[in-house]
Amino acid sequence: MSNEKNAPLWQQLLLTAQALSDVQKGQSANQVLEKISSPLRPGVQALLFHVLRRLGLAQTLLKKLAKQSPQKPVEALLCTALALACDEKALMYPPHTLVSQTVDAAKKSRLLKNSAPFINACLRRFLLEQDALLKEAHTLLLAQWNHPEWWIHQHQKDYPEQWQDILLANNSPAPMTLRVNTKRMTVNELLKIWLDAGMPSTPVGEFGLVLHQPLPVHQILGFLDGLCSVQDLGAQRAASLLKEQLHQKPIKKWRILDACAAPGGKTAHLLEIMDCEVLALDIDDRRCLKINENLQRLGLQAKVVTADAQDTDVWWDRKLFDAILLDAPCSASGIVRRHPDIRWLRRESDIAALAQQQSRMLESLWPLLAPSGLLLFCTCSVFHAEGQDVVQAFLTHNTQAAILPSPGHLIPKITGARGEVQDNAISDHDGFFYALLQKTD
């Protein structure tokens, strides 16, 4: 296949369908896209993400158009085309062009060429009966919200008044937010540099700038020089929460553990805004390399160790920490806007297993904390099972732990407050959970 940037649409559709098929087999979109040549990757990624955000509707329509389930490669190409054709408000191509190019894609594929007439018939029937088919499809939760039904039901349980807004937010792209390295310059200084260069942005939070037009990082002025890093506004809360509390303690230099540190965004932010020494752990060698690369780009230093955070006998030097940041493994249900494949890769049974892992990590790391020390527990999940439920269970069984004022579940585009651990969204950010715990004397 050609590697030219201006690849014909049929080729991009074929590559997108192949990528979708791989995601449905369990591979992440990042893994799948890495296989595609660099010149073609941005276009295929845009198509794939568009399809993944409408996959539930496309699957529902296909069941109504085909009496029997087609073979997987045929299903992937048809779902790709239907997802691109079903949303009149976000059409990327004229419908008849899309149909003809999809049929061309089938004809040019060894696996699909015999199915070209069937694909053509399905898509042309969709164009003829579109209104009726869409009306009927939208009576089903999967088609209406483009999330697995178990995911929808869990949001309905956790957020009875907000679940629709969360799912809507998940189906729209996230903003490109960057964190300014305030060791080097102020937010306003970088904002002006960007504005003068034709890169307008808007300040958010204490350290953030949102680009009005997303760009590849190598095109962002100052990125390669360490003046900024890509980091969602919700993720930027971690370092700020620790700084606010630690600065009330008379310690010259704080000793902090970042227990699941890769790719290093929160480690770097701590070093940018505080006088501290940080031990950054990650279980994967390649991910630790990414931490070091980011620190080097920003001109920062931390001790980076490859280790399982729970296996404290292997890596801990028996010196207690003033603070521990535990950004625990989770379903990543809060970052679906950036990674629309996550909703289709996760299984319902994953949530309980991840929550158990989070609880084990809390129990393993708590003894490493100095008296009056702080542990910030966070996940990029909006499921209560991976946030407030884990923390409340930990507090119930640990009399040495007290919760300080904490953001709780940060919900994309939603403002609210509930219970001891508050839900509080102040801007357009990813879904997160934060609970700040203190070890009592």
- Domains of the chain, with CATH numbers? 9-146 (1.10.940.10), 176-230 (3.30.70.1170), 237-439 (3.40.50.150)
315 membership: H or E segment, kind and range:
helix 312-315
Tell me the two tokens of residue 233: 């506004």
Q: Per residue in 378-394, pLDDT tens? A: 999 999 999 999 999 99
Question: Up-side HSE of residue 249: CA atoms within 13 Å toward CB?
Answer: 21
3-state SS string over 94-115?
A: CHHHHHHHHHHHHHCCCCCHHH
Q: Per residue in 122-179, pLDDT tens? A: 999 999 999 999 999 999 999 999 999 999 999 999 999 999 999 999 998 889 999 9
| ∠ CA 391-416-55, rounded to 5° | 85
**First-residue to last-residue Cα distance in the chain:** 66
Q: Per residue in 181-220, pLDDT tens? A: 999 999 999 999 999 999 999 999 999 999 999 999 999 9
d(CA 8, CA 2): 9
Catalytic residue (one of 79, 260, 378, 380): 380
Question: What pairs with residue 379 in β-bridges?
Answer: 433
d(CA 420, CA 140): 36
pLDDT band at 424 (very low <50, low <70, confident <90, very high): very low
- Cα torsion angle, 378, 384, 390, 391, sign: positive
d(CA 142, CA 183): 47
Residue 420 has pLDDT above 50, yes or no: no
pLDDT band at 412 (very low <50, low <70, confident <90, very high): confident
Question: What pairs with residue 410 in β-bridges?
Answer: 432
> In whole angstroms, what separates CA 48 from the centre of its chain?
16
The pLDDT score that the predictor gives to residue 413 is: 63
Question: What pairs with residue 177 in β-bridges?
Answer: 210
Residue 421 has pLDDT above 50, yes or no: no
The pLDDT score that the predictor gives to residue 72 is: 95
Tell me the two tokens of residue 230: 């890509």
Q: How far is CA 97 from CA 85, 93, 421, in A?
A: 10, 7, 52
- Cα torsion angle, 425, 429, 433, 438, sign: negative
Question: What pairs with residue 403 in β-bridges?
Answer: 437
d(CA 148, CA 161): 19
360 membership: H or E segment, kind and range:
helix 348-365
Active site residue 380: yes
pTM of the predicted protein model: 0.91
